[in-house]
Amino acid sequence: MDIKSLDHQYVANTYNRFPVEIVSGKGSVVVDRDGKEYIDLGTGIAVNAFGVADEAWQQAVIAQMGKFQHTSNLYYSEPCAVLAKMLCERTGMKKVFFSNSGAEANECAIKVARKYAAGKKGKDCCYILTLEHSFHGRTLTTLAATGQEEFHRDFRPLTPGFLHAKVNDLADVEAKLDAYPVAGILIEIVQGEGGVIPLEESFVKGIAALCQERDILLMCDEVQIGNGRSGMLYGYMNFGVKPDVVSTAKGLCAGLPLGATLLGEKVEYTLGYGDHGSTFGGNPICCAGAISTLSRMDEALLQGVRERSKKIVDTLTGKKGVKAVTGMGLLLGIDPVRPAGDVISECMERGVLVLSAHGKVRLLPALNIPMDLLEKALDVLVDVLGKDVS
Ligand SMILES: *Cc1c(COP(=O)(O)O)cnc(C)c1O
C-alpha cells in the first residue's frame, strides 16, 4: 500500500507534507517506512516533550486506559482534578479549564477576558490586543487574534474586536490602549510560528505594568514556549511577570491532545456554570499523561533544557551561513543565508528533522534529547547551513 498516494487521495489538502512517513521510534530518534533513522529536532511541533515512545509516559497513559478512557465532564475524575492542582501549585494560578488544543485554550482565554471586562467596565470593553507576527490558532476567533494577514485572507469575516500592536514597541501598545476599550492583551513570550521572535523583557514588563494600571488582563499564550521549553516551566517565568491567564497545549501531555487555560486570582470565578465547556476537555488519559509529564519537569530537567539551549546557540552562532540565532530555551530559530527550505530538505536527507518558521529554520528538540545525539545533529546542521555559502 502506497501511503503517500492514499493520503493525497483521501486526506484534506491542508498540509504540504515532507516526503517522509514515520512508522516508529524511540526518544529523539524516529524511523521512516524504509527503516531510515532521523534525529528529531521538531518533536511533532513541540508536542513530544520526551520524544516518542517514552516509557514512563507510556506507562502512565496505559495505566489510565486500563481503568476508563472517558467519563464526560458530568462526573468527577481523579486525573483531571490532580492535574489541575499540580498546574496551580506550580504557577500560583487558581483554576484550570481543560480543552483539547492550543486554539481552544486561547478561545477560553478570550471568553474570560470579554466576560471579566464586560462585568467591570461594560460590554463595549471587548477588544483583545495581540501582536503582529503572532500565532494563536486556526479557529475563526483565534485567527482574528493571530497577527498575520496571510492567515486571514480567505476567511473573512473573522470575529471582530481584535487589535494588533507592533512587537517590542510599548508606545504602540499604549496608543492602542488609549484608542480602544481593551479587555485583555494576549502575547507569546517567544513568537514561535511567526518566526521565532523573542519579546524583550522590558517590553513584557511594560505590558504587565500597563495591564496592572488599567485593569486589563495580561494573558500569555504558552502553547509552544510553555511546559519546560523555555528553560523555566512557563516562558513568562523568565521575566518575573504574573499573568492573569495562561493558555497552553502542545507539550503539556507530551503527545496526546490536551489544552489548558490557567486562571489567576482576578478571573478565578469569572466563568460560571454553563459559561464554557468541552466534551473531551480534561480527558482522563490525556490528564494522566500530563501528570506524568509535569511531574518530570523539575529543576534538573529545566537545567538540562538550558544546557542544551546553550549548546545549540554556542555551536551555531557566527558559523558560516548563519545570520542569527534567536529564541529561548529549546525554541530556537536560525536565520540562514541559504533558503530555509533547502536547509530543511538537505538535513532530512542526512537524517535530521528540523522545521521552518517564516524563512527561519526552527529547532524544537525533545527537552531530554541526549547530548551526543544533539551534537550529531548539530554537526549536520553546521555542514548544511554553510554549504556553498561564501
Ligand atoms: C500551535 C499554537 C497554537 C494553536 O495550537 P493548536 O493545538 O494547533 O490549536 C496557538 N498558539 C501558539 C503560540 C501555538 O504555537
CA distance linking residue 61 with residue 340, whole number of Å: 37
Rounded Cα distance between 59 and 44, Å, is: 20
pLDDT of residue 390: 78
Each residue's pLDDT tens digit, 249-263? 999 999 999 999 999
CA distance 64 to 55: 14
Q: What average pLDDT does range 291-313 have in this prediction?
A: 98
**Ligand 1 centre from 67 Cα, in Å?**
30
Nearest CA-CA partner of 46 in 332, 376, 289, 350: 332
**CA 102 to ligand 1 center in whole angstroms:** 4
Cα(289)–Cα(115) distance, integer angstroms:
32
Give the Cβ contact number of residue 30 at 10 Å: 24
From ligand 1's centre to the CA of 336, what distance in Å?
24
Does residue 251's CB lie within 6 angstroms of at least one atom of ligand 1? no
Using CA atoms of 89, 92, 96, 102 in order, give the dihedral in degrees to the nearest 10: -110
C-alpha grid cell, residue 188: 507569546
| Separation of first and last alpha carbons in the chain | 45
Atom of ligand 1 nearest to the CA of 222: 13
Encode pLDDT of 31-86 as tens digits. 999 999 999 999 999 999 999 999 999 999 999 999 999 999 999 999 999 999 99
In the prediction, which pLDDT does 387 show? 96
Q: Is the pLDDT of residue 1 over 80?
A: no
Q: What is the pLDDT of residue 26?
A: 98
Q: What is the per-residue pLDDT for 188?
A: 98
- The amino acid sitting at 334 is I
The DSSP-derived string for 3-65 is HHHHHHHHS-TT----S--EEEEEBTEEEETTS-EEEESSHHHHT-TT-BS-HHHHHHHHHHH
The protein residue with its alpha carbon nearest to ligand 1, atom 6, reads: 102
CB 57, CB 27: distance < 8 Å: no
CB 258 within 8 A of CB 74: no
Residue 141 neighbours by CB under 8 Å, 6+ apart: 106, 107, 110, 158, 159
**DSSP run (H or E) holding 232:** none
Q: What is the Cα–Cα distance from 232 to 297, expressed in whole angstroms? A: 9
342: cell is 533547502
pLDDT over 70, % of the chain? 100
Ligand 1 atom at shortest distance from the alpha carbon of 221: 13
Query: Does ligand 1 lie within 6 Å of residue 101's CB atom?
Result: yes
CA of 45 to the centre of ligand 1 (A): 9
The dihedral through the CA atoms of 356, 139, 209, 224 has a sign that is negative
Q: What's the CA-to-centroid distance between 137 and ligand 1, angstroms?
A: 5
Q: What is the mean pLDDT of the chain?
A: 98
- What is the whole-number distance in angstroms between the Cα of residue 129 and the centre of ligand 1? 17
Minimum-distance ligand 1 atom for the alpha carbon of 193 = 15
Mutate to test the pocket of ligand 1, among 199, 224, 258 (most ligand atoms within 8 A of CB): 224
Q: What angle do CA 202, 208, 210 make, to 5 degrees?
A: 100
Question: Region 113-139: what's the mean pLDDT?
Answer: 98
The alpha carbon of 206 is separated from its chain's Cα centroid by a whole number of angstroms, namely 23
Which amino acid does the sequence have at 353? L
- Say if residues 278 and 99 touch (Cβ distance below 8 Å): yes
| 12-39 average pLDDT score | 97
Atom of ligand 1 nearest to the CA of 103: 9
Q: What is the pTM of this model?
A: 0.98
Ligand 1 pocket residue status of 193, Cβ below 6 Å:
yes
Give the Å distance between the CA of 19 and the centre of ligand 1.
24
Write the single-letter amino acid at 373.
L
Strand order in the sheet with 355-357: 322-328, 331-336, 360-363, 355-357
CA–CA gap between residue 42 and residue 286 (Å, rounded): 21
User: pLDDT value at position 324?
Assistant: 98
Omega of the bond leading into 19 within 30 degrees of 0 (cis):
no
Q: Which amino acid is at 359?
A: G
DSSP structural state of residue 123: T
Q: Which atom of ligand 1 is nearest to the CA of 138?
A: 9
* Alpha-helical segments (H) within the chain: 3-10, 43-46, 55-65, 78-91, 102-121, 140-145, 149-152, 170-179, 201-214, 284-296, 299-316, 340-349, 371-386
373's CB contacts (< 8 A; 6+ apart) are 28, 29, 39
> Residue 73: helix, strand or coil by DSSP?
coil
